[in-house]
Structure 1
Amino acid sequence: MTFSRVNAARGLTLAALLLAASGCGAKNTPADASRAEPDPLAKLQPAQDMAAYRAMSDLLYKLDQEAIQRELTETGQEKSTKPAKDKLFGFDATRAVHDRDFIASGEGKALADSLLTYQTPSGGWSKRTNMSTPRKPGQQFGTEKDYVPTFDNYATTTQFWVMANACNAHQDSRYCDSASRALSLILLAQYPNGGWPQSFPLRGKYHDDITFNDDAIANLLKVVGAAAEGDERLAFLSDGLKAQAKHSLVRALDMLVATQVEVDGEPTIWGAQHDDETLEPTSARAFEPVALATSESADLVLFLMTLKNPPENIRKAIDSANRWFEKHQIHGLRYRRGDELPALIPDDDADPLWARFYDIESDRPVFGDRDGQVYFELEKISAERRAGYGWYTERPYKALKEYRKWQQ
């Protein structure tokens, strides 16, 4: 793709803004993420082409790295250390997001203060990082380099909602600004075609695919949709951010229509990942093959059914996805997990099940292993992968139940 003079000028403007942001960031400490000056990143606009998008990614990555280096220099440390690791974030995310009394308490405020210290200069948060206590100067923002920051495993979207709740509960501009910066990153991270990568700034490989896996995009759509449709919890957002969110939502809906997989001319559901340029379904880790992904597709449909006035192409996407769910129900079996190896067990009272992945060509459940081999029977994969991954789901059942209400 040719990097035109217009794009080059845009890149220079972007570089100037980020250099200014870098200067502002030097005044902050991990214990105080508030900014004494207006955030120059707020002036950035989503890229209109991939050349400008990648330039923005590179510069935001540099901004995050330079922030750590400044802290090391200021504290006389030679090497950054990693924060403590956690399966999620080291705090009860459900409570922090949904319990208003908690976030209004002293304990909730302390958590919000701690989260401020883990927010990257680019505006996001990492996964598998214990954020229950403040980050120390010179510490990295997360425990895994390819996920600093990321939208994987509910990262960034979880912290966005915590900071939005803290903003409303405490009327503290630091929390409001933090949530606004997170939304800005989400909007900037959106590809020109309307999708989102797993991590932004970009990290390469499958991380750059349009990522539905583990509900990354479903969670992003909930944030963008709430901002676009006037959710009262987000009244503190600027008019400019709300306007950008409305445009982002339109682009995202167009992307969902474009990526819904067609088989023999019939729309089905979505893959776990799609190529960021061709929009075709792709594989990720060795045990995650090119396939239709039921759980993630169900959550996409559940989101779409919350839209106030969905356009006709979205209504058709909802209808076709639910038809696919209806057709592929598995009855009379329960997915056993626990001390024994996971397996399907006869149970006439069980809710319907779906395999996590379905082969696009054969329309059969498919299971992957660490060696890249793909099988049509769960029992054929290694015990480690059989026990270490969720191969069946009930999530489409919730979508089908909501669909019946939505049709009325």
Structure 2
Amino acid sequence: MMNRFIPFFAVLLLSLPLKSQNTPIAIEKFNDGIHHWFLEVRDTNYQRHSPENFQAIAKNLIAYQNKDGGWPKNIDWLAQLNPDSVKQALSERYRQSTFDNRNIYPQIEYLAHAYSRSGNKLFLKSAIKGLQYIFNNQHANGGWRGWDVDAITFNDDVMTGIMHLLLDIAQDAPQYSDLPNKIRKQSRKSLNRAVALTLHCQVNVNGVKKGWAQQHDHQTLAPTGARTFELPGLTANESSSIIAFLMRIEKPTPAIVHAIETGIAWLQQSAIYGIRIETVEVPEGTYPGLTLKIDRKQVDDPSAGPLWARFYETDTNRPFMCTRQGEKVFSLNEVNPERRAGYAWYGIWPQKLIEEQYPAWEKKWKQ
């Protein structure tokens, strides 16, 4: 009787790897770069690989990889285009490897998944080459720079994105199981240096630890500016991302626990009530010389909140914004229309962290 079922189970078992191989590998971490690609490329009349065709996408990643192990930013990794032609059309600077716009660590993660699905060693080799780029470009202080300024960069998840990747390796995520021991040791060493630096970057105001900035100076670790409209200040967005990363660390040290608790306290104290941000459509020609389709307005509303500002003054904790010309202002309505509609000055970034993730972390580690 049992023999009658053996062929059925054999077919079932054989079908499992095939199903796995046809399951898409997540591409959401490429979204930022692909979004910028579509902002810059005029001719988008081309074929794209389906997410299920992960081996073709992984081969694209290998084709675009620079000799230093990194990748240029703002590429549509699913595009069925000639990578050499695409890179040739870029300016010299835009061919260079960079972590900007959430770049490099997503490619490494994708290649590792592609290798674990297919066994294609070229994918593993490319992922290792990408990791070497991370190691080689880590600053002596443990940080990584972004695109706009040579500083320790938390903006665009430069530091946190890399640290999440290295933590996955340290915590033995299955897609990294075949990494050589030497690479694993380098990953852990690199991660430890980055975490130590992150803790030191937390801004201390009169003996009280607050949040973090988008960028910090390599030498002094003080908040520093980047683009003209990004003046030095504490930031709710990046601080939330940093705290969320720190909460992933198993058996956190007292220093990590303190950073999380004080960071959460600062976010709670910095919540804004009584205003809301409205996005409104604007007729063509409303702002001469601009092609804006929307605008944003700050509206008083006693029932609104909580909301957080992108930037807070380090000393006063007062929310501020900035014009494209670098003038600090304190109301969204004072920002010029192009930057008002084109930058996230307010958001609810910490809300889920405060209401859900932190209580769960506290329950796990504060008993």
CA distance 1:144–1:261, shift in 2 (3 Å)? farther
Query: What's 1:140 paired with?
Result: 87
1:336 and 2:290 matched? no
Counterpart of 1:191 in structure 2 is 139
Q: SS of the residue aligned with 1:140? A: helix
Confirm whether residue 391 of structure 1 aligns to residue 339 of structure 2.
Answer: no
Counting only pairs closer than 5 Å after superposition, residues 63-78 of structure 1 correspond to structure 2 as none
Identity percentage of aligned residues? 32
Are residue 303 (structure 1) and residue 266 (structure 2) matched? no
Q: Which residue of 2 aligns with 1:202?
A: none
Aligned partner of 1:373 among 327, 345, 351: 327
1:135 Cα deviation from its structure 2 partner: 3.7
CA distance in structure 1 between the partners assigned to 2:82 and 2:303 by the alignment: 48
Q: Deviations over 1:253-301 (max 9, x none)?
A: 1101111111111110111111112211100000000111110110110
State the AA in 1 paired with 2:268: E
Distance 2:210 2:106 in 1: 29
Which residue of 339, 345, 359 corresponds with 1:404?
359
Work out the CA distance in 2 between the residues paired with 1:198 and 1:142: 23
Change in 2 beyond 3 A, CA 1:143/1:309: farther
1:137 Cα deviation (Å)?
3.7
Instruction: Please name the residue that 2:72 is paired with.
Output: 126
Q: Secondary structure at the match of 1:337?
A: strand
The residue matched to 1:371 in structure 2 has which SS?
Answer: coil
| Distance change >3 Å, CA 128–CA 257, structure 1 → 2 | same
Give SS of 2:158's match: helix
1:4-403 matches, cutoff 5 A? 87-88=35-36, 105=52, 107-131=53-77, 132-137=79-84, 140=87, 143=90, 145-147=92-94, 148-199=96-147, 206-337=148-279, 339=281, 340-345=294-299, 352-401=306-355, 402-403=357-358
Q: TM-score, normalised by structure 2?
A: 0.77
* CA distances 1:180-236 after superposition (whole Å, capped 9, x unpaired): 11111112211121111115xxxxxx4321111122111111111111222222112
| Cα distance in 1 between the residues matched to 2:93 and 2:217 | 18
Shift of 1:345: 4.2
In 2, distance between residues paired with 1:216 and 1:144?
23
Specify the SS of the correspondent of 1:336: strand
Structure 1's unaligned 5+ residue stretches are 1-84, 91-101, 200-205
Whose radius of gyration is greater, 1 or 2? 2
Deviation at 1:129, TM superposition (A): 2.2
Give the stretch that moved more between structures: 313-322 or 144-153.
Answer: 144-153
Corresponding letter in the other structure for 1:118:
Y
Could you say if the C-alpha distance between residues 253 and 277 of structure 1 is closer, same or farther in structure 2, counting changes exceeding 3 Å?
Answer: same
1:407 partner SS: helix
* RMSD, aligned CA: 2.2
Q: Describe the superposition over 1:78-99 as per-residue Cα deviations: whole angstroms up to 9, x where unpaired.
A: xxxxxxx953467xxxxxxxxx
Q: Do the aligned partners of 1:115 and 1:134 also contact (CA within 8 Å) in 2?
A: no
Matched positions, count: 305
Structure 2: give runs of 5+ residues left out of the alignment: 1-32, 39-49, 282-293
Change (3 A) 1:393 1:143: farther
Q: Give the TM-score normalised by structure 1.
A: 0.70
Change in Cα spacing, 1:89 to 1:182, as seen in structure 2 (3 Å) is: farther
